[in-house]
Amino acid sequence: MSAAALFDDGFDAQRVLMGLSLATRQEIKPGSTLIVLDEIQTNPRAITALKYFCEELPAYAVAAAGSLLGLSAHEGSGYPVGKVETLNLHPLSFREYLDATGERSLRLLLDSQDTQTMAAFSEREVLALKTYYLVGGMPAVVNEYVESEDFAQVRALQNQILEDYTRDFAKHMPMRLLPKALDAWHSVPEHLSHENKKFVFGRIREGARAKDFEDALIWLQRAGLISTVPRVKKPALPLSAYDDHKSFKVFLLDIGLLGAMSGVDAASIVQGSGIFTEFKGALTEQYVCQQLISDCGVGPYYWSAESSTGEIDFLAQDQGAVYAMEVKAEENLRAKSLRAFKQANPQVKAVRFSFSPYRQQDWMRNVPLYAVANKGLWG
């Protein structure tokens, strides 16, 4: 009997436990054995069984791993709400990527307050960051890069992951949402290529309206494939209270997958290219958003003026403060929007993320992009 079949005949947790012990030829001891149920999204009854492990066998440690693509489909239908502690895993952050690629000493430097030494090693830090722009943080892709250092192999694996995702859409998603979700998913790079990165439904399909695609976007977000960044009306605490509920930006789960979806080649990202200038901004905003969510634990927002072109790329709240964040992918570091926003809202802390070294001005701090996750440098 397979381990999966143990969940077919009811939810007697003690019986399942005995079956797992027999199937694995291992004695399962409370307090010393960790039971791991992998790919749990493939077995809805196993998901439901977690409730009975919690209630009937609380002394046993059970960990379940699975894709949000499948797990989100089971919420509300036997999902053990309140019985399971959920840990959402993200693609590797830049800091985790440095550890995985043998650059732990560089990661420790970026975690420190030693901005002088950071500046001394900036060439190495920038090269590592640009390589991360290409490789991203999907574990299998990072492992491929560590083993082969072959960007062509990296990109081939990323394209395979993207194909796997689109196949999984059909497996887990209600069929009525499938065409709309695919259209919305494939529109993300095009949205991010615009200077105004606000999500516009008409860019998905001519004549498209919000009510036609809202459910598909919600499904993609709950599946962990996209992140939405809402617009706020003003920079006050808590930011969530000032969400305008109409405008938002959309980013992908991983910067490497964004590059693959966009067809950007390795040389353009790592070595730079004049024709790549505009989309470099999209990748850099994707990178910052990804680090804010996964490494900094903050849910970013953005602000834009009602009747002008003024915009702040990201707003974040942390430890009782609101940070206004401008993201610069190019050497032109003029921050007109950020300066005007700071003047109008002196209570916010102004931060600019760029490839330039750390420096503190009277009204703003410039934090190098490779140190985005070091909140101690924000001010």
Residue 250 confidence (pLDDT): 98
The values of phi and psi at residue 95, to 5°, are -65, -45
Cβ-count burial 321-330 (b if 16+ within 10 Å, e if not) = ebbbbbbbbe
pLDDT over 80 (residue 277): no
The values of phi and psi at residue 266, to 5°, are -60, -45
Residue 116 confidence (pLDDT): 97
Instruction: Say what percent of the chain tops pLDDT 70.
Output: 94
pLDDT over 80 (residue 286): yes
What mean pLDDT comes out for the span 134-148? 98
pLDDT over 70 (residue 226): yes
pLDDT over 90 (residue 272): no
**Cα–Cα distances in angstroms (integers) from residue 21 to residues 16, 31, 52, 60, 169, in the given order:** 9, 15, 17, 13, 34
pLDDT over 90 (residue 225): yes
Residue 97 confidence (pLDDT): 98
What mean pLDDT comes out for the span 297-323? 93
- Average pLDDT of the chain is 91
Asked if residues 336 and 325 have their Cβ atoms less than 8 Å apart, the reply is no
Residue 131 confidence (pLDDT): 96
What mean pLDDT comes out for the span 255-275? 83
pLDDT over 90 (residue 129): yes
Give 72's pLDDT tier (boundaries 50, 70, 90).
low
Give 238's pLDDT tier (boundaries 50, 70, 90).
very high
- Residues 7-18 have pLDDT tens digits of 888 889 999 999
Residue 47 confidence (pLDDT): 87
pLDDT over 90 (residue 73): no
Asked if residues 204 and 226 have their Cβ atoms less than 8 Å apart, the reply is no
pLDDT over 70 (residue 273): no
Map tokens 């949205």 to a residue.
191
pLDDT over 70 (residue 248): yes
pLDDT over 90 (residue 292): yes
**Cα–Cα distances in angstroms (integers) from residue 46 to residues 19, 176, 332, in the given order:** 13, 27, 54
Grouping H, G, I as helix, E, B as strand and the rest as coil, residue 56 is helix
Where are the alpha helices (H) located in the chain, listed in sequence order?
13-24, 44-56, 68-74, 94-100, 104-111, 115-120, 122-135, 139-148, 151-172, 178-192, 210-222, 255-262, 266-270, 277-294, 336-344
Q: In whole angstroms, what is the distance from residue 322 CA to residue 314 CA?
A: 10
Give the range among 180-184, 187-191, 258-262, 274-278 with minimum mean pLDDT. 274-278
- Residues 200-224 have pLDDT tens digits of 999 999 889 999 999 999 999 999 9
Asked if residues 282 and 189 have their Cβ atoms less than 8 Å apart, the reply is yes
pLDDT over 60 (residue 23): yes
Residue 331 confidence (pLDDT): 64
What mean pLDDT comes out for the span 350-377? 96
Angle subtended at Cα 124 by Cα 118 and Cα 125, rounded to the nearest 5 degrees? 55
pLDDT over 80 (residue 138): yes
Residue 78 confidence (pLDDT): 67
Asked if residues 326 and 352 have their Cβ atoms less than 8 Å apart, the reply is yes
pLDDT over 80 (residue 84): yes
Residue 181 confidence (pLDDT): 95
Give the range among 57-66, 134-143, 326-335 with minimum mean pLDDT. 326-335
Residue 75 confidence (pLDDT): 54
Residues 6+ apart with CB under 8 A from 246: 231
Residue 316 confidence (pLDDT): 98
Give the range among 113-122, 168-177, 179-188, 345-354 with minimum mean pLDDT. 168-177
Report domain extents, the chain. 4-74, 94-377
Residue 43 confidence (pLDDT): 85
- Residues 348-359 have pLDDT tens digits of 999 999 999 999
Q: In whole angstroms, what is the distance from residue 332 CA to residue 335 CA?
A: 9
Q: In whole angstroms, what is the distance from residue 28 CA to residue 18 CA?
A: 8
pLDDT over 60 (residue 276): no
Residue 321 confidence (pLDDT): 97
Give 29's pLDDT tier (boundaries 50, 70, 90).
very high
